[in-house]
Structure 1
Amino acid sequence: MASMKNTIAERILDFLKNYPPFNLIPKETLLEVAKNVEINYFEKDQIIFSQNDTPHEHLYMVYEGVIRLYRFAEGKKHIVDICDEGDLFGLRPLIMKENYLMGASANEESIVYGIPINLFNDIILNIPKVSQFLIASFATNTRDPFSEKHKGKLFANIKAIKKVENTFIETQSAKYTKNPITCNPKTTIQEAAIRMTTNVINSIVIAVDKIPLGIITDKDIRTKIGTGIFKITDPVELIMVSPVITFPENITVAEAQIARLKHKVSHLCITKDGTNNSELVGILTEHDLNLIQGNNPLLLIKEIKCAKDAETLKYIRSKAAELTKGYIEQEIPIYFVTKVISEINTAITKAAIELSIKEIGKKPPVEYSWLAVGSQGRKEQLLMTDQDNALVFENVEDSEYDGVKAYFLKLATKVTEKLNIVGFEYCPANIMASNPKWCLSKREWKHQFKEWIKDPIPEKILLSIIFYDFELIYGNKELYNQVAKSVLKLIKKNQIFLSFLGKVTLDNPPPLGFFKQFLVEQDGENKDNFDIKSRAIRPLVDAARIFSLYHGLQINNTIARYKKMMEVEPQNKDLFESCSNAFKILLTFRTSQGLANNDSGKFVDINSLSKADRLKLKSCFNPIKNVQEAIKIRFKTTQIG
């Protein structure tokens, strides 16, 4: 009889090992689970558990058939989900000490495995990926996935499960040089240079009572002393770079890299509290970072600056694609990846502009700003997708206008050609600065936005939506700020515009159809594929944009917008946090798909996905539904015909 039982257990094991999280569990442990599985048969419409029932001692997995999960609200029965072969349900007792939030019944004759919850305790402690999967799985059927209430609550009888430690370099604390050599502001440059030489260092911090005031590096001595601008007998305060860029002691490699990219400095000062008003404890140099970082985006940026033609830029951008691939494989946070790759894309565009000005042989006649719009404007362009850009130039007299515009159109044409060579293809809708429609003076841009905002017909909104995510890439910052501020001011005066914008964004329904099937394309070359960009990513981007415009925030990045919204509307913190998490998952997913298939990652073949990946995608759809509901209520979209 025992051998018979084992045969059944082995058959159960063969089934379980095909599905997450059981595919993550070693065979011996899984056999132990399989031996204790309870096999249940349910007839059509038979109830497995009801809403508000006390939790069972098992979680359930569908072996054969279909189970529907439902919830009663306001006297009506709502189907929440449909579970088919390999799907888990009834996870609540595993995660929360609470009664079932929903009921489960058989949609047709079904066989369901009951898996004892108490067997999971050791598994969870020893295999963190199992706990991560179960939490994600649980969150998909929870009203507010990722909310404070569920965070960290893994299992009722285990007090705390340690967070899986990240092992990748970017999130490690940067190793900085402790007790850096300092001097006071009145020290002569010669004395400082002697100290640097004696200690074999390439920088010295100028400090008073251990508070850092400035820094000089080899470069300062080369450019300010070697050139004869200052004398070696002058005090260091005359040539020091001040204020210094400071960070606290626990700065990560990622933060250090971003700070150095942003501030264009080679040294960061580490102080007790991270400000330049507290005691200096260390210095972090380019060399320190290079030691821990083999593939350094900063080196790519240096190469970009030295590039003499578009072909070189193309080669460097292909190295950046490798960098993205490595980051995604190491599961480095997507927010960090977008920042680094955006800096590289920005540097490439800057280089393309500078090379083009050189070719024309004539400096721009007036101040201008080169703008990225759409995904590059939001700093979310990780893959080589189409270019979307625009240009604004300073207002000029009518008599000069034609000549000035002709110059900028010539410049933009050269720049877009170079970006096309690099691999950013021309925009099919011609939303590029080389198009006279999108190469305008400041006055014309303000007028254009006014027209879009004051007469918000759907066609105009669909065309203009991309322009509400515009970011300065190169040129005059003040000019860019003036246009950005005037747009936010216009919207503040014309709040009805947001209702029209909301209505257009809601025309894109949540990605799940009836019975929680993925909405796939019905015809054409992408038939039966899931459009992850339009159906899942865009609704979250649109939602972040509309809330950001509503609050008058001059922030473009989707993750940063949600982060800010959590502060601005603390009562909706859970909603915005779940949207941010969903967006991160989707962007990572699209990027890895695009890198794997060498395309834009826009379409996903659902049938080729593992159960775990399907679940991961599904977990992102609830926040879309919830935030679209919030838009409907906030912006009264139903009142617009």
Structure 2
Amino acid sequence: MEIEQIEILDFLKRHSPFRELPADLLEQVACSIDIGYFKAGSEILRFNEPLHAFHLIRSGAVETFRRNGELYNRLSEGGFFAEQGLLRGGKVRFPASALEDTLIYLIPDRMFLQLFDESEFFADYVEVGYRERRKSSKAREQASADLLGATVSTLLGRVPISIGSHASVRQAAQLMSEQNVSALLILHHGDETAPDGTLAGIITDKDMRARLIAPGLDSEIPVTDIMSADPATIDHQRYIFEAMALMLRYNLHHLPVLMRGKTVGIIAISDIIRYESQNSLYVVSSIFRQQTVAELQSVVPDVHACFLRMVNEDANSQMIGSAMAAIGRSFKQRLLELAEAELGPAPVPYCFLALGSMARDEQLIFTDQDNALILDNRFDPALHGSYFEKLASFVCDGLAACGYTYCTGKVMATNPQWRQPLRVWQQYFKTWMEQATAERLLHSSIFFDIDGVWGQTQWAEQLQAQVSKQARHQPLFLASMARNALQRTPPLGFFKDFVMEQDGKQNNSLNIKRRGTAPFSDLIRIYALAVGSDANNSLNRLKDIIDAGVLPKGRGEDLRDAFEVIALTRIRHQAEVLRQGREPDNNVLPEQLSEFERKHLKEAFQVLSNAQSFLKFHFKA
């Protein structure tokens, strides 16, 4: 057998129903296989077309569909499809597409039918077992709420395969082939910059194709020349949803897992796909496949479905907020790609910013857009102004088309005030902190929730570092921020009854954002600035605040629980409105809440009210 066929044989030996076959029959299968490669988003099988092979997934992820376009199944490494068509006339019954870059082993129809005739186990597994696995798949979907609470360690399988940073690309490729892996960890070896055995980078099949083969480089170059250096990592005790959010945010296909600083495994998108059907990873993948703004609009129903699924499965507010924020970032990133394709490359570097709830990973289904542009200090309005004006308009108009309404306060990159060189932004923040007044900060607090989503994102990090370093030493600034935060109070009357909105269209309702989650975010932000926290998310900020000991004992935990009650009330309200086919909003009608919900909501608002009183005292506001 040739080396490639030996590799195929080793793969078959690890997966049912092949590993149960006699050795001689298994070798026949390995020698008969052809290999197909399909790019992410490409069509693999089309309904009713002639079918000539049984499809076995070597790496990647595949979706199969019913003829009406409804999703039928989602498969990853070791999964197979097309057996139904081969057994019923040799025509495709379930169309298939590649969810990510995918390698497929194609077993000829004659070989498949021979296996079906000669191996009772193979026949039962494929024909009967498949139906049973579909049933268990649906059961897993019902249990996915539990899986959302599982830790990353539950996804780990084999020991990670690694190689030293001194190795060549050829050696790395040989090891990946021998071990049948699509990703390889690169560990420091003989480097002065880091201890031996620590993580230096990661290399994948995709890196081999894009960074070695496509440019025509010599395979004897150091593996460090084509690896992704200092990759994002996650601790084994973190939750699966956090790994998912990290992979969404940075469009990662592989994520190294650490235990006490040591790499103990790698998880891939396909690992998470096994746990999460109709997932936000799929939505993000779909966003990046769209070629026009109109096509991006067509993804909006999938976003709504993803939101409803997470609510139905009792995901907490942090899970939902981070997933929706990742989807929102993906819309921005794809729109910027399309804008640059239409307008040409940017004349000077820039960073596109997300502000507010998206930057905090607290975005929901009903939200406006808050964004800005940091431009390179070489920016010349006469030479470059027109380009960035068009870029901002393209993105903001595209976001509006996809359901992210224009900001009524015009905090958008289309506003020249928020489309400035880095030095101007640095001066903005310096002035806000050193020459603070409540009036000056009234419409600027949103800029203290900032996240770079495209381009020179390190500029956003520089601004965050500037704020983290300086804000805690500016008592007038903190007092002014606190004074503004106290303008939005919880909707409780003297006798602890709800105080309803009386603004015309939304009479006798509670604006759960304006009177609940927003003042909570404002309050937490101020304490976070005071303790020098560099976190963006409110709950992560609250952890830093609790650790700093600036609140009375137990008060931070009360704030955390109260925030969750109010946030989930808002989330469930938006989900219910969405189910009814109406436009989501933030206006909750108390009479539509149960007595239990009303009681806990009042208690949560009371915690907020008490916290605002302490805020006023603490910062002398």
Indicate which of 332, 354, 357 corresponds to 1:372.
Answer: 354
What CA distance in whole angstroms lies between the structure 1 residues aligned with 2:340 and 2:554?
48
Letter in 2 for 1:329: N
TM, length-normalised to structure 2: 0.68
Distance change in 2, residues 1:572/1:394 (3 Å): farther
Indicate which of 243, 247, 266 corresponds to 1:283.
Answer: 266
> Does structure 1 residue 467 correspond to structure 2 residue 447?
yes
* CA displacement at 1:283 relative to structure 2: 3.4
> Does structure 1 residue 307 correspond to structure 2 residue 293?
no
Residue in 1 that maps onto 2:373: 391
Letter in 1 for 2:242: E
Indicate which of 604, 629, 638 corresponds to 2:588.
Answer: 604
Equivalences for residues 480-491 of structure 1 within 5 A: 480-487=460-467, 491=471
Secondary structure at the counterpart of residue 292 of structure 1? coil
What CA distance in whole angstroms lies between the structure 2 residues aligned with 1:220 and 1:169?
31
What CA distance in whole angstroms lies between the structure 2 residues aligned with 1:403 and 1:611?
62
* CA displacement at 1:566 relative to structure 2: 0.9
Residue in 1 that maps onto 2:508: 528
Return 548-557 or 204-213, whichever deviates more. 204-213
Equivalences for residues 422-433 of structure 1 within 5 A: 422-433=402-413
> Does structure 1 residue 539 correspond to structure 2 residue 522?
no
* CA displacement at 1:592 relative to structure 2: 1.7
Asked if the contact 2:249/2:329 (under 8 Å) is kept, the reply is no
Distance change in 2, residues 1:315/1:503 (3 Å): same
Secondary structure at the counterpart of residue 453 of structure 2? strand
Residue in 1 that maps onto 2:339: 356
Letter in 2 for 1:286: I
* Number of residue-to-residue matches in the alignment: 466
Residue in 2 that maps onto 1:503: 483
Residue in 2 that maps onto 1:266: 253
Q: What are the superposed Cα offsets for residues 316-374 of structure 1, whole Å, 9 maximum, x if unpaired? A: 2431221121112211122122222211111111111221222223x222232222222
For structure 2, the residue ranges without an aligned partner over 5 or more in a row are: 1-142, 190-195
Asked if the contact 1:394/1:479 (under 8 Å) is kept, the reply is no
* CA displacement at 1:546 relative to structure 2: 1.4
Letter in 2 for 1:287: S
* CA displacement at 1:292 relative to structure 2: 2.2
Asked if the contact 2:356/2:449 (under 8 Å) is kept, the reply is yes
Asked if the contact 2:176/2:182 (under 8 Å) is kept, the reply is yes
* CA displacement at 1:485 relative to structure 2: 4.2
* CA displacement at 1:200 relative to structure 2: 4.1
Asked if the contact 1:247/1:275 (under 8 Å) is kept, the reply is no
Secondary structure at the counterpart of residue 391 of structure 1? strand
Letter in 2 for 1:388: D
Asked if the contact 2:355/2:451 (under 8 Å) is kept, the reply is yes
Distance change in 2, residues 1:224/1:402 (3 Å): closer
Indicate which of 319, 325, 328 corresponds to 2:302.
Answer: 319
* CA displacement at 1:523 relative to structure 2: 4.7
* CA displacement at 1:635 relative to structure 2: 1.1
> Does structure 1 residue 172 correspond to structure 2 residue 156?
no
Equivalences for residues 224-303 of structure 1 within 5 A: 224-227=211-214, 229-232=216-219, 239-243=226-230, 246-262=233-249, 264-270=251-257, 273-276=259-262, 280=264, 282-303=265-286
Secondary structure at the counterpart of residue 274 of structure 2? helix
Residue in 2 that maps onto 1:403: 383
- % same residue: 28
Secondary structure at the counterpart of residue 177 of structure 1? coil
Letter in 1 for 2:557: E
> Does structure 1 residue 202 correspond to structure 2 residue 209?
no
Q: Which has the larger radius of gyration?
A: 1
Distance change in 2, residues 1:505/1:412 (3 Å): same
* CA displacement at 1:440 relative to structure 2: 2.3
Equivalences for residues 452-463 of structure 1 within 5 A: 452-453=432-433, 456-463=436-443
Letter in 1 for 2:267: L
Letter in 2 for 1:358: A
Distance change in 2, residues 1:494/1:292 (3 Å): closer
Residue in 1 that maps onto 2:209: 222
Q: What are the superposed Cα offsets for residues 540-575 of structure 1, whole Å, 9 maximum, x if unpaired? A: 111112112223333332222111111112653521
Distance change in 2, residues 1:372/1:215 (3 Å): closer
Return 503-512 or 540-549, whichever deviates more. 503-512
* CA displacement at 1:301 relative to structure 2: 2.1
Equivalences for residues 69-148 of structure 1 within 5 A: none
Asked if the contact 1:247/1:274 (under 8 Å) is kept, the reply is no
Residue in 1 that maps onto 2:401: 421
> Does structure 1 residue 557 correspond to structure 2 residue 537?
yes
Return 314-323 or 203-212, whichever deviates more. 203-212
* CA displacement at 1:493 relative to structure 2: 5.6
Letter in 1 for 2:616: K
Distance change in 2, residues 1:473/1:226 (3 Å): closer
Asked if the contact 1:325/1:592 (under 8 Å) is kept, the reply is no
Asked if the contact 1:405/1:440 (under 8 Å) is kept, the reply is no
Secondary structure at the counterpart of residue 351 of structure 2? strand
Distance change in 2, residues 1:614/1:177 (3 Å): same
